[in-house]
Structure 1
Amino acid sequence: VRGLQGPGSGTNLLAGPYVLASTKHFLADGGTHEGRDQGDARISETELRDIHGAPYVPAIEQGVATVMVSFSSWNGTKMTGHKGMLTDVLKNRMNFGGFLVSDWNAHGQVEGCTNASCPKAVNAGLDMYMAPDSWKPLWHSLVAQVKSGEVPMARLDDAVARILRVKMRLGLFEAGKPSTRKYSGDWSLLGHADHRAVARDAVRKSLVLLKNNGSLLPVKAGAHVLVAGDAADDIGRQSGGWTLTWQGTGVKNDQFPGATSIWKGLHDAVTSTGGSAELVADGTFAKKPDVAIVVFGETPYAEFQGDLKTLQLRPELRKPYETMKKLKAQGIPVVAVMVTGRPLFMNPELNVADAFVVAWLPGSEGAGIADLLVQRKDRRAPYDFTGKLPVAWPATARADGPTLFPFGYGLTLAGGAAPWKPLSEDSEVPAEDAGNVYFAGGVPAASWSLQVYGDPADSTRITTVPAAAASGRVRVTAVDHVVQEGARRFAIDSGSAAVGLTTYAPLDLTRETNGDVMLVATLRVDAKPAGAVSFRMGNAAVRATAVEGAKPGDWVSYGVPLKCFAKGGANLGRVEAPFMLRSEGAFTFSLSRVALGTAADRVVACP
């Protein structure tokens, strides 16, 4: 708080030069059931106060000017509408004198409220709505509510006064336009060499070494190095969410001027020692390497999109594991470099790799990884590993499971390590629990059903194969994909028919619609369709021209943005069938997986 705002009693902050600080999210955003974003913290008041409330005491003592209220609930009550917490506790008992702001349209989630009207939030103590797209109707409704007395005038005056006091403390009214202030327009400060040096040093100091069998690291000078894995040359991937875009997805390397990918950092370090480097994502090398470095891990996410039911990578992100196994089978030493925002179950990867490095999210300075992995030009050892685990590393994929590496664990190059003992590769959780996965491995997730429809009144639940449906017009068989019988093949002989996934507990996908989340279906066209094909959700249909024109025989993941279905009239607050693929004529295809995600081979555009 002091770093952002200066002294707790400071004024005219913009001349400091300082900015306002925000402490968030009030309260227990990190204590929700199953770690669900925007979820419910089902905890006692003692735990709420002593654990989650603890940081707010020193923050308020140091004069923090704003507090952002959480989307989440405490024992079933949304914080944004909780007068006991916002007014009685935060403002009165904790003596917070700044203003309270909601999260993005969070007021619309308060019971009895909408994005356009929420007197309950203001009466609870909220001073500023964050209403990016509903501010005008919200203004009209609030004016009417004050005139009617539903929102007391004194409460409105208090909210306005709090906001004005903070702006006056900031010196906003005297500071002039942003374009006239100090540093404005000085583009030379963006990506300045001094700043990049600090960032690169932070990368070096944060990497954690979990395994180094046979002292494989550092890679010796003059070696031929293969760099593989789908995260090796992806600056957006190594930067994570909230990077250029909200979720950090859909960005390319050329959008990061001056940044260095992990591949580029490794290439430059290896060649500077007289060695050579080769980049092939799937590990298919032209020249047999002395060592392979496989970079893999999570794709970017922010907020709810990062929610996991279990502590493991989604299945489609584990392809580099197969690459590691393939390289090891050829006698090539493997260094695994994991890009991730958190520890996950990695026992199979830890077992197969000779060395395992947790890179977290190194951001723009991928060369900081090479600083620790590759011997320097003068043949001295590189910087040593000093990073330690900030939280325990799990031994299984269960959130409440045992610990493999404790908090504070981390090897050094100088310290050596005990001989590696193979780890159990049993995740101890069902594969379908890996996330928002509705269909995988040829079967629907628990509590889901695979259905074939001849018409709306003619549906057949597919539980075993081979099977026939739609009066015999559709035949269902098992086919191999990834694993034996890991997909289902649907042969529609004639007429229209559909394949869908249903559940008896309808889904609420409204929050997932507020972003770039897609319904992702992995399928193979086996015989081109004779008629139109569409993806459907509720009463919304999106024409699947990409499927209609696909080359038979190729497995492809197709992504349909949830926004497409919302625009088409689907009720995303109550989804009983999130996936349906309908064909208006003869069509044969195989289906392997259906899930929510942000990446797909082909994105189906909204009509």
Structure 2
Amino acid sequence: MKKFILLTMFLIQATSLLAEVDWSRENSCKYNNFSNADLIDQLISDMSIEEKVGQVIQGDLDFITPADVKKFKIGSVLNGGNTAPNGDKYSSLSDWKKLSQEFYDASPTYKGIKIPVLWGTDAVHGHNNVIGATLFPHNIGLGATRNIELVQKIGEAIALEVLSTGVAWTFAPTIAVPQDDRWGRTYEGFSEDPILVSKLGKALILGLQGEGSTLLNEKHVLATAKHFMGDGGTTNGVDQGNTKISELGLRELHGYPYFDALDACAQTVMASFNSWNGEKLHGSKSLLTGVLKNDMQFDGFVVGDWNGHGQVEDCSNSKCAQSFNAGVDMFMVPENWKDLLRNTIRQVNSGEISELRLDEAVKNILVVKSRLGLLNGRKPHEFEGNFLGHPDHISLARQAVRESLVLLKNNDGVLPLMPNQHIGVIGDASNKISTQTGGWTITWQGRENSNSDFVNTRTIYESIKNYVEVNGGSVEFSSNGKFQNKPDVVIGVFGEEPYAEMLGDLKDVAFTATDPRYLPLLESISATNIPTISIFLSGRPLVVNEYLNASNAFVAAWLPGTAVEGISDVIFMKNNKINFDFQGKLSYSWPRSKDQSVLNFTDSIYDPLFPYGYGLTYASEDQINNIKIVKSKKLDLVNIFLGAASIPGKEFVVTDSGPEFVMQDNFLSANKKIKITRFDYQRQDDAKNIIFIKNKGMQAYGISAELPTDLSSMDSPYYEIVMRVNSLSDAKLYFSVGCGNNCMGSIELPVSKMAEWEAINVPLSCLKKDGLNESKVQIRGLFSSEEQINFDVNSIIIKDGAITGTKVSC
């Protein structure tokens, strides 16, 4: 019945009916600790335009200091995905609280009333920017649990860990309803089902903020419902793209979870990067003011996303009256906050922004600060206790892992396993904590982290080893499929490399192997009749048919976080009995072929490999055999670089000191001759500045992949390199593509003509003439020079077809 109702609903939304859409909602939120209405009105009347504009500005820690806050009377700061106190991801808890106090002390005071700075952070699956925090499964895993009570408890735990660092606001939860699994943020959504998203989103908000008498008390933080709205419905799953849907469809699908979020009294809503039918949400007055504030009676404040206002037509990061007038109350302007501050003051003085609108935004912000207790003496830095990695939270995370696991295959009841056997383990991912934690973990993309960055955290291999050895068995890891002792069973762990928005976007839903040895090992072991169990780590369902066929049992473990002992709890028996059964059910439909990127259970034609809600238990008798393998068609596009190497690529440099991997955004080679810095060009961290300092030997910066790429199916392939050169000189810069020892094609780039951003096109035919074998490309792109040069790179893409724009001649 539920499916029939939703199917009917979506068929209605897809029509061109012009009926008026009802967004109305009655606001039932009660705030027991709020009694400062008159005070706020008085404060606003006493504040100058400059002081009021300061309240609507939010800068990033990398670009704003307590001294800046004091001088310019700034109202908010954030630490972005790659930001921490002192610019150091290893900052201690005391470093966080010390900076929190410094911002508090620097906050403006009016007639004896301090208006503290509001510090926001992306605590999206735990307080994930802080080393030592408990990291819960990402939302896709929580969606598989369907456990509303558990999700609310997780919210309560996250609130305590955030407060432990002197911060009282998180940019969570994401209540997007992803409809195209190519989207790199799919794992931030609980489900493709708006009803499930709504229930779990509400639960997390109630956990973070409290409810009733506990609402926004000293044990809770501000939550953010994001991103308003339609972020999960963009065409082709392109991040920050365009969502084409009727207003009725927008309400019933992407808007649906916001009704529950507002009923949970969410205090902040974040505007979305995406467009709706061509109009950027950051500039949509009809949605931000008309729908959200008026019809839905949202009574908190709207915060922008990272320079999202700069994407509005005729705006820039430094100037955007349109976004403010549309309904964004607080600009998230990480770097250009001083320019935006000055320009906004000018626009108020000129009347482009009315003072009435400014007063409204400031009032919305001060009301929320008051509800949090900040106008009544609450000092976030004085929160007592350290709840980071608290044992109760780790136990809760372990429960969440257990309940999030989805058993897709269990032929002949190979699971659960007796732990007193000799267990073989294969797969690089079993030894990499970053693969189990995914993006938004310590750093934005989550790829730069080593195992030593995680406190009191086991790898999946270590957790299996510990469980088995305690129960009388033995465990052996093999990187090549050869074991000293023949295993009774082999557990393989594989999955996606970490990613976040932008770099996580895919061209289809085929799994791209980052451990090229895994599948051949799995297939060879399976051929020996040793039972094989695969544990798949991913931020979305992907086509893994070959892996399923080679596995007797297959577990979708999503991105489980740090408490991976929960996996062993379920797959192993205890005292000859089932310890914990599988409970997880798919909250996303699972594709059978790579062209099923848009696959949702409300589709009129619905043919998944595993349907929404699927998930075996130990009582199930399903047998999954010989899943069809669809041969890959010709390539038409390969992403190589967008501000960082696209998966599965890895960045490296070569100097006279030897090769080095580039593992952080601000990189200096060992010999200090190559400097690399990531920066914003059109979007967050979407470009890199590369400086070669003149050296006697060759210097190079490149991107390689362990698994070669075969480009031979392309008809007329070419590299499109979007770049510019900052120091024009007689320096020569070469671009090369490699295919193994003594196998490389190179071409000189026209650096003297690239003072502005330009798309330079290099035909693969030129590189083939120079020796490239296009069927086994392994060094995906390499810039090299013997001379001093300073250049920027935004993107590198291999395309097929006719070249438009600047073509490098060979």
Letter in 1 for 2:395: A
Q: Report the CA distance shift for 1:433/1:290 in structure 2 as closer, same or farther (over 3 A).
A: farther
Q: Which has the higher contact order (CA 8 A, sep 6+)?
A: 2
Q: Residue 210 of structure 2 contacts residue 217 of structure 2 at CA under 8 Å; is this kept in 1?
A: no
2:349 matched to 1:147?
Answer: yes
Q: What's the CA shift for 1:538?
A: 3.6
The aligned counterpart of 1:212 is: 410
> Hey, which bits of structure 1, 4+ residues long, moved more than 6 A?
8-11, 515-519, 541-548, 578-583, 594-597
The answer to which of 1-10 and 193-202 deviates more is 1-10
1:425 aligned onto 2:651? no
Deviations 1:197-238 (A, max 9, x none): 111111111111111122222223432221111210111110
CA contact (8 A) 2:739 2:779 kept: no
1:514 Cα deviation after fit? 3.3
Report whether the alignment pairs 1:72 with 2:270: no
Alignment correspondent of 2:683:
511
User: Quick one: distance in 2 between partners of 1:90 and 1:431?
Assistant: 45
Does 211-220 or 32-41 show the bigger shift? Answer: 211-220
Cross-structure match for 2:470: 272
For residue 223 of structure 2, the aligned residue among 18, 21, 26 is 21
Per-residue deviation, residues 331-388 of structure 1 (Å, max 9, x unmatched): 4321111001111111111111111111111110121111222233x33333221211
- Distance (whole Å) between structure 2 residues aligned to residue 228 and residue 139 of structure 1: 55
2:268 matches 1:89: no
Contact 1:269 1:370 in 2 (8 A): yes
Residue 202 (1) aligns with residue 400 (2): yes
Rounded to whole Å, the distance in 1 between the matches of 2:773 and 2:376 is: 66
Q: What secondary structure sits across from 1:511 in the alignment?
A: coil
Provide the rounded CA distance (Å) in 2 between the counterparts of 1:284 and 1:541. 52
Partner-residue secondary structure (3-state), 2:369: helix
2:639 maps to 436
CA contact 1:65–1:99 (8 Å) conserved in 2: yes
Map of 1:253 onto structure 2: 451
User: Does the C-alpha gap of structure 1 residues 240 and 133 become closer, same or farther in structure 2, counting only changes over 3 Å?
Assistant: same
Aligned residue runs from structure 1 range 415-564, under 5 A:
415-418=620-623, 420-426=624-630, 430=633, 432=635, 436=639, 510-511=682-683, 513-514=685-686, 520-522=703-705, 538-540=723-725, 553=741
- Cα distance in 2 for partners of 1:30, 1:261 equals 31
C-alpha spacing 1:233/1:545, structure 2 compared with 1 (3 Å): farther
1:46-86 residue CA offsets vs partner (Å, 9 max, x unmatched) = 10122212222232233221110000000111000111111
Aligned residues of 1:8 and 1:62 also touching (Cα < 8 A): no
Q: What amino acid is aligned across from residue 415 of structure 1 in structure 2?
A: S
TM-score, normalisation: structure 1: 0.74
Does residue 138 (structure 1) correspond to residue 340 (structure 2)? The answer is yes
Cα offset, 1:589, TM superposition: 5.7
User: Which amino acid is 1:436 matched to?
Assistant: N
1:524 offset after TM fit, Å? 12
Tell me the equivalent position of 2:375: 173
Question: Aligned residue for 2:761?
Answer: 577
TM-aligned CA distance change 1:332 to 1:255, over 3 Å: same
* RMSD value, Cα: 3.7
Alignment of 1:79-478 (within 5 A): 79-181=281-383, 183=384, 186-187=385-386, 189-317=387-515, 319-376=517-574, 378-398=575-595, 399-400=597-598, 402-418=607-623, 420-426=624-630, 430=633, 432=635, 436=639
Q: Distance in 2 between matches of 1:9 and 1:99?
A: 22
The answer to whether residue 233 in structure 2 is matched with residue 31 in structure 1 is yes
Q: d(CA) in 1 for partners of 2:351 and 2:379?
A: 37
What is the CA deviation profile of residues 74-132 of structure 1, one whole-angstrom value per residue up to 9, with x for unaligned ones?
Answer: 01110001111111221122222211111011011111111111111111111110011
Structure 1 window deviating more from structure 2 (82-91 vs 100-109): it is 82-91
Q: 1:33 to 1:8 in 2, by over 3 A?
A: farther
TM-aligned CA deviation for residue 297 of structure 1: 0.9
How far is 1:324 from its partner? 0.8
Residues 79 and 524 of structure 1: CA distance in aligned 2, closer, same or farther (over 3 Å): closer
1:205 aligned partner, one-letter code:
E
1:266 partner SS: helix
Aligned counterparts of 2:292 and 2:303: Cα–Cα separation in 1:
13
- Measured in 2, the distance between the counterparts of 1:304 and 1:315 equals 19
Residues 222 and 54 of structure 1: CA distance in aligned 2, closer, same or farther (over 3 Å): closer
The match for 2:62 is none
Paired with 1:544 and 1:210, the residues of 2 have a C-alpha distance of 54
Separation (CA, whole Å) in 2 of partners of 1:349 and 1:434: 25
Return the alpha-carbon distance in structure 2 between the equivalents of residues 576 and 434 of structure 1: 16
Contact 2:423 2:489 in 1 (8 A): yes
Please, which moves more after superposition, 171-180 or 383-392?
171-180
- Partners of 2:539 and 2:404 in 1: CA distance: 12
Percentage of matched positions with identical amino acids = 40
Q: Helix, strand or coil: the match of 1:220? A: coil
TM-score if structure 2 supplies the norm length? Answer: 0.56
